[in-house]
Structure 1
Amino acid sequence: MPPSLHLLARAAGGSLSPVRAAIRHWVLSAFPPSEGSSRIDYDQPLGDPGLFGPDSATWRVHSDFPGMLSGGLAALTLQTLHPLALAGVWDHSNFREDLIGRLRRTTLFVGATTYAPLAATDALIAHVRRIHAYVKGHGEDGRPYAADDPHLLTWVHVTEAYSFLQGYRRYSHVTLPVGAADRYYNEVRRIAEALGARDVPASEQDVTDYFKRIQPELAFTDRSREVLQLLSQVKLPVPAAGLSRDLFLLAGAALLPDWASQMLCHTPWQQRQAKLAAHALWSIAPVFRAALKDGIASRSCRRVGVPASTLAHWPGEARVAS
């Protein structure tokens, strides 16, 4: 493990107050809650559960910041393997100049569709559908693509849902109860379907089968390499930007399915680094949760009249030993 990752892992066992304060500043600097979302009121109207509500698997999985950020980066990595999905980003996105902005917009969409009141959720989904209607073109091989193609929408959704769930499993210190993964997939497919996706996997077995079916469509191309190279060099607007980036990128790589790691040509050394980073993030993850107790998940809990601690527990959960 790089020395900087050792320092982060040891920080979790040290004096917590300074570490929590630093982490809170880190997260709010990189992903400010008002960035692009000032018109979303997570506090009103009282009693509005949004699309899922506090009893959902989705509220629990998406409340875990370490799992969501590492999972989001894993999802972006997976998405580079579909040439037509990547072509839309390549042709219509300013990711080369503003990769941080793209990450923030994705974070906003996931957070808002999870926790915002229903009217705000519906408005945001409608806004994204309008944008998708203009994203069309041709891939490198001349095949047409469209951002509102149900097939591509399903791919993007499945890579995200899979990666978020794997991030929760790996870094939340909580063992999912039996059936919780299926419940999560069945819930979050509502977002994909609202965007226009079809035949969206609704269970863990469905996701496994889907990945098997779609692998012949995937490829690790020069475009994939360029996007991933940019991602590996992104500078977060926080202290120790390189350390923060490397920790979460490597911890995200640890979440990838074996077939994807093979397609991405990850070397044994890269795989070892990912495992070491995953251990470091697992070690410090409780400090992230302690530092981020008043985010949009907590505000949404207050909106519907339940304590935020509700999201830290599953019926019949088991804590993973250190």
Structure 2
Amino acid sequence: MDDSEDVGLFGPGSVTWKVHKEPVLMVAGLRSLYLQALHPRAMAGVAQNSNYRTDAWGRLMRTSTYVATTLFGTTAEAEAAGRRIRARHARMRARDPVTGAEFRVDEPDLLRWVHVTEVESFVTTARRAGLALTDAEVDRYYTEQRRVAALIGLDPATVPGTAEEVERYYRDVRPELRMTREAAETALFLTVPPIPWKVSLPLRIGLTLGPPRWAYLGLAGTAVSLLPAWARRLYGGLGLPTTALSADVSVRALRLALRALPQHLLIGPIQIAGRERAARLTAAA
């Protein structure tokens, strides 16, 4: 098939495209990182192989490009991106923070944890922000996302494909989760990352504050509030219903604010190209 006629792994009729057209998912990406940090081995793999502290924004852009490519790129582009990330992961090793044993960062259990926390964060945030999704559509989303799991080397049959299976997975993995020093340091970094100096207002006391910093702190606070109650408790917070209600109000307000902005400022070139291919195919049908 000519790439100009290829809408990729999903396409305009998928729940995936319905969910990921939402700019509010920037909060979902941050929520998934807070969740991922609670897995000691997964966190060790990141901390021992990543330069996220010195190149936080570069890493964010690379991750965003990968996600956009798998969701909105052509099939060939998505598969190529998957091959690159599998090759990169295959070279990486880390040491268990408890036993000191060396392990591969592409172990299926670790890849599955990262995958599930990402996709669950995406669809949960979209729904809580006000995107109308039926229970059946949520299940379809999880099933569709098994295609992305395959790109990173997972057997799709071992990946939760419905909301019930995701809940069961979280129940099974929760005994392995805990607040470690690395998790705490990562959570602090996620909450107060370095802001590029060109968009900051340095104060005399040496702190970097200003509109970009306050805006980001608002996003980070919303992301933490959107975490499951059990995850908030691991971070030392309270799993109160009022916290969830406050998070829902905040993320809905953010979605409304983003929808009021010119959409071309919020949608990346990969998504635009995917939509344009789909529009051409629809027009030619």
TM bucket normalised to smaller: 0.7 to 0.9
2:80 aligned residue (116, 123, 131): 123
Output one character per residue of 1:29-69: Cα deviation in whole Å (capped at 9) or x when no partner. xxxxxxxxxxxxxxx83211111111111111111111x21
Normalised to the residue count of structure 1, the TM-score between the two structures is: 0.75
RMSD: 2.4
Tell me, yes or no, if structure 1 residue 184 matches structure 2 residue 141.
yes
Native 8 Å contact 2:35 2:231 kept in 1: yes
2:63 aligned residue (77, 82, 106): 106
Tell me, yes or no, if structure 1 residue 266 matches structure 2 residue 246.
no
Native 8 Å contact 2:230 2:239 kept in 1: no
Q: CA deviation at 1:213?
A: 0.2
1:206 aligned residue (165, 184, 203): 165
Measured in 2, the distance between the counterparts of 1:212 and 1:102 equals 30
Residue matched to 2:254: 281
Measured in 1, the distance between the counterparts of 2:193 and 2:59 equals 12
Measured in 1, the distance between the counterparts of 2:192 and 2:135 equals 39
Q: CA deviation at 1:152?
A: 0.6
Output one character per residue of 1:121-148: Cα deviation in whole Å (capped at 9) or x when no partner. 1111000000001111212112433121
Tell me, yes or no, if structure 1 residue 61 matches structure 2 residue 35.
no
- Per mean C-alpha deviation after superposition, the further-off stretch among 113-122 and 282-291 is 282-291
Tell me, yes or no, if structure 1 residue 194 matches structure 2 residue 151.
yes
Write the letter of the residue equivalent to 1:146.
R
Q: CA deviation at 1:280?
A: 3.9
Measured in 2, the distance between the counterparts of 1:77 and 1:175 equals 25
Write the letter of the residue equivalent to 2:48.
D
Residue matched to 1:244: 215
Native 8 Å contact 2:42 2:110 kept in 1: yes
Residue matched to 2:279: 305
Q: CA deviation at 1:88?
A: 0.9
Output one character per residue of 1:222-254: Cα deviation in whole Å (capped at 9) or x when no partner. 110111111111134446221221121122123
Write the letter of the residue equivalent to 1:210.
Y
1:256 aligned residue (200, 215, 227): 227
Measured in 2, the distance between the counterparts of 1:79 and 1:293 equals 26
Gapped runs of 5+ residues in structure 1? 1-43, 309-322
Measured in 2, the distance between the counterparts of 1:102 and 1:140 equals 24
CA distance 1:116–1:279, shift in 2 (3 Å): closer
CA distance 1:265–1:307, shift in 2 (3 Å): farther
Measured in 1, the distance between the counterparts of 2:160 and 2:149 equals 10
Measured in 2, the distance between the counterparts of 1:64 and 1:55 equals 15
Residue matched to 2:178: 219
Output one character per residue of 1:162-198: Cα deviation in whole Å (capped at 9) or x when no partner. 0001121122x32103400000000011111221224
CA distance 1:169–1:307, shift in 2 (3 Å): farther
Tell me, yes or no, if structure 1 residue 165 matches structure 2 residue 119.
no
Gapped runs of 5+ residues in structure 2? 201-210
1:81 aligned residue (32, 35, 38): 38
Native 8 Å contact 1:100 1:234 kept in 2: no
Native 8 Å contact 1:46 1:304 kept in 2: no
Native 8 Å contact 1:65 1:288 kept in 2: no
Native 8 Å contact 1:247 1:277 kept in 2: no
Native 8 Å contact 1:74 1:255 kept in 2: yes
1:6-45 residue pairs with structure 2 within 5 A? 45=3
Q: Secondary structure at the match of 1:65?
A: coil
Write the letter of the residue equivalent to 1:265.
G
Q: Secondary structure at the match of 1:137?
A: strand
How many residues are matched?
263
CA distance 1:53–1:291, shift in 2 (3 Å): closer
Write the letter of the residue equivalent to 1:217.
E
Q: CA deviation at 1:276?
A: 6.1
Measured in 2, the distance between the counterparts of 1:178 and 1:208 equals 14
Measured in 1, the distance between the counterparts of 2:254 and 2:148 equals 29
Write the letter of the residue equivalent to 2:215.
S
CA distance 1:113–1:145, shift in 2 (3 Å): same
Native 8 Å contact 2:27 2:220 kept in 1: yes
Q: CA deviation at 1:117?
A: 0.8
Normalised to the residue count of structure 2, the TM-score between the two structures is: 0.84
> Taking every aligned residue pair, what percent have the same amino acid on both sides?
33
